[in-house]
Amino acid sequence: MKTKQCPLPYNPKDLIQLAHGGGGKLTHELISTMFYPAFSNPILNEQHDGAIFDCKEGRMAYTTDSFVVDPIFFNGGDIGDLAVNGTVNDLTCCGATPLFLTAAFIIEEGFPMSDLQRIVESMKKASQKAGVAIVTGDTKVVDKGKCDKIFINTSGIGIIDPNIHIHSDRIEEGDSIIISGKIGQHGICILSTRESLGFETDVASDTASLNHMIQSLSESVPIHFMRDPTRGGLSSTLNEIADSASVRIELDEESLPIGESVLSACELLGLDPLYIANEGLMLIFVPKKHAEKTVELLKQFPEGKDACIIGKVTAKNTDGAVLLNTLYGGQRIIEMLRGEQLPRIC
């Protein structure tokens, strides 16, 4: 199959048909006019069943994520850049430099081609910004009513610098805990754009790839552990970490960076910002003596401009617990999210 000229822009009347997922002429037309031109790179352009590439490095990271966010377009992003940034950030958490992504689409029959194109363009921009190549993919179409518009899976692989070792075992008593930006932005953004809620704010999703910022940081600071607090929010991620590292974590409520709009929305809806999903945030554990420098370095990047220290590791070899030192001088236990606060956030 040769790559054809992309017939941009698609007309909003052009709709995805079942045959676009059938493996025949229409599938090939879709791939060659939309996906290949957008994601073009030497490995993808080989148009094999899989991507083939050289790998001379030692340690690698490998991850996967499916994206089912509703709505698919929202303030600050869409399902496309979310899918690229999410996987880039998962690799970044592993201490890896993201290298290649795959993109697999499940599309509902009747989905507008122009919307697909908008999503693909957004993936193109996000992958260029993160410096990763989408090297292989897959397209399936299901009958109308059998999926909700579009679901995207991205998997990714990255190379880990031999000097970087990110593992929960490395978390030490006294480590400072840093968050790279304001919490709750993505979740409140999605909540506000769900049509039926009749609730609006100016909050934009924080979706962003963090690999360049973290790579720069890791050259100067010995990071002990990182994780991006997405589904389940800051609380669930911290509980996971406390549990797997058997450490006690204390957060200071007054230091938590929460935007005005997110705070008002949470108060209005009775939600706890600690459980609201984030997308472009990183939780970073570093030795205390490197904490100020870490914040300073993060602030040099737009994605890190609101970075701050939010807590510390107060004990090791304990039953993992996360405590919040409240504004009023008390202390309460912060648990993992129970039930589902907001489905289909990513």
Binders of a copy of itself among 7-26, rule CB under 8 A?
17-19, 21-26
Which one of 27, 114, 216, 325 is in contact with a copy of itself (CB under 8 A)? 27
Provide the 3-class DSSP secondary structure of residue 187: helix
- Region from 60-68, 76-84, 257-265, 303-311 binding a copy of itself, contact rule CB under 8 A: 60-68
Provide the 3-class DSSP secondary structure of residue 118: helix
C-beta of 260 vs 340, nearer to a copy of itself: 340
Which one of 9, 12, 50, 222 is in contact with a copy of itself (CB under 8 A)? 50
**The one-letter amino acid at 179:** I
Which one of 15, 30, 34, 61 is in contact with a copy of itself (CB under 8 A)? 61
Contact flag: residue 144 with a copy of itself (CB under 8 A):
no
- Rounded CA-CA distance 129/32 in Å is 23
Question: What secondary structure does DSSP assign to 229-274, as a single string?
Answer: --TTHHHHHHHHHHHHHTEEEEEEGGG----HHHHHHHHHHT--GG
Closest CA to 142 of 12, 21, 27: 21
Which one of 85, 127, 155, 192 is in contact with a copy of itself (CB under 8 A)? 155
Residue 140 CB, shortest distance to a copy of itself, in Å, is 5
Fill in the per-residue mask, 68 to 107: x = in contact with a copy of itself (CB under 8 A), - = not in contact: x-x-------------------xx-xx-x---x-xxxxx-
Fill in the per-residue mask, 172 to 211: x = in contact with a copy of itself (CB under 8 A), - = not in contact: ----------------------------------------
312: β partners: 176, 250
C-beta of 109 vs 306, nearer to a copy of itself: 109
- C-alpha 32 chain-centroid distance: 28
- Rounded CA-CA distance 120/114 in Å is 10
Residue 254 CB, shortest distance to a copy of itself, in Å, is 25
The residue behind tokens 């100020």 is: 292
Contact flag: residue 329 with a copy of itself (CB under 8 A):
no
**The one-letter amino acid at 130:** A
What are the two backbone dihedrals, phi and then psi, of residue 329, each rounded to the nearest 5 degrees? 85, 0
Residue 283 CB, shortest distance to a copy of itself, in Å, is 11
